[in-house]
Chains A and B, each alone.
Chain A
């Protein structure tokens, strides 16, 4: 049979319309086949919203979480230690005595934490005073911009979160972070853990980790562990809520942030 171009296009058009139609019908009919077997894929393919997972009603929510750290209230070594220890304990953070150590929250002398604020003639009280450091949960996080897999991303409440399942260990985020808040697992961290908290996963060799403002605790309705342990020296709250504790404390105190000139809009404030 000879067919001309016109006929060929007709046949092509009709058969592709039939094919698309049959695919669509298949999608719908498979929808009606759901009884006990809950086929999430078929539902999702057909464009249905699956609302079988919900946030905890007790979860704390905000538009942008932030922490204000009143370093005037940190007086003894124990004040620092209790905040750092509680984090290490609940998040299974290993203690490695080399440069390959993992840190979520740590302390650094004032002049190292705020190098651009430092001068040789400043009062002795601040000069060498240790400052609590952690991930700044930047409003414009460079780590999120450079992550090639979407393993690090910004949650709706402003927390810069890690999805270790997706991390490929390229360490772009570590190069991007101006605060040194990220640590790489050069080895399996488990041998360096004295005790493993079974309710929180450890990390594996080859992923990057950092502080996430205790996202898992916020989702259960609890404050970050360091804030809870600090006895009021750290204030946690929603920066976008004018009535929040953190906004009150920021409006009545002088505060500084680490490297604000970079434009990352860090969300950890220091009252000095």
Chain B
């Protein structure tokens, strides 16, 4: 092989660079996301149940919210009937934040972990801001 020294050094350097993120985080403890359900409203609930099952909400809350926004804004529909037959107002502020009033300990836990920045908060009012504004 011609220039084997250069090629092998180059390959080692390349592999090293590509795998740098793995080397970088070796030995560092990764904080597992731990969404907290410790809010006054949830603590008072006898049966702690979201509008749908926990697994469904974990898997599909983004799709659900997307469907909600289209239904409310574009189709004048405001009620959501869950698989348990209960109906809820389709509103982030009125329904979701009523229970999940802890954005930092709930939403941000996973969103930060997977490094996504939903832009809901640019318009929708965070529950924390409600408190700041004396509501």
Which residues of A come within 8 Å of B, CB atoms? 36-38, 40-41, 52-56, 59, 153, 155-157, 161, 163-165, 188, 195-205, 215, 219-220
Contact = CB atoms under 8 A, between A and B. Distances in A.
A38 B83 contact: yes
Nearest to B123: A201
A220 B123 contact: no
Given A56-B78, A198-B133, A37 B123 contact: no
Contact of B123 (A52, A56, A156, A204): A204
B74 A198 contact: no
Interface in B101-135: 119, 122-125, 127, 129-130, 133, 135
A55 B122 contact: no
Given A40-B63, A161-B73, A201-B124, A55 B78 contact: yes
B59 A199 contact: no
Nearest to B63: A40
Contacts of A161: 73-74
B76 A55 contact: yes
A195 B135 CA distance: 10
B12 interface: no
Given A38-B52, A164-B123, A204-B122, A220 B78 contact: yes
What DSSP secondary structure best describes chain A's contact surface? Answer: loop
Nearest to A195: B133
Given A198-B129, A201-B123, A38 B56 contact: yes
Contacts of B56: 36-38
A101 to B, nearest CB: 19
A53 B93 contact: no
Interface in B30-79: 52-53, 55-56, 59-60, 63, 67-69, 71-79
Contacts of B80: 52-53
Contacts of B11: none
B79 A163 contact: no
Interface of B: 52-53, 55-56, 59-60, 63, 67-69, 71-83, 87, 90-91, 93-94, 97, 119, 122-125, 127, 129-130, 133, 135
B76 A196 contact: no
B79 A36 contact: no
A159 to B, nearest CB: 9
Nearest to B135: A198
B81 A215 contact: no
A150 to B, nearest CB: 9
B123 A203 contact: yes
Contacts of A204: 119, 122-123
B68 A157 contact: no
A236 B126 CA distance: 33
Contacts of B135: 198
Given A40-B67, A204-B122, A59 B130 contact: no
A195 B63 CA distance: 31
Contact of B55 (A37, A53, A59, A157): A37
A163 B74 contact: yes
A38 to B, nearest CB: 6
Contact of B94 (A153, A199, A203): A199
Contacts of A53: 67-68, 71, 75, 77, 79-81, 90
Contact of A196 (B72, B83, B133): B133
Given A36-B56, A41-B63, A55-B79, A199 B93 contact: yes
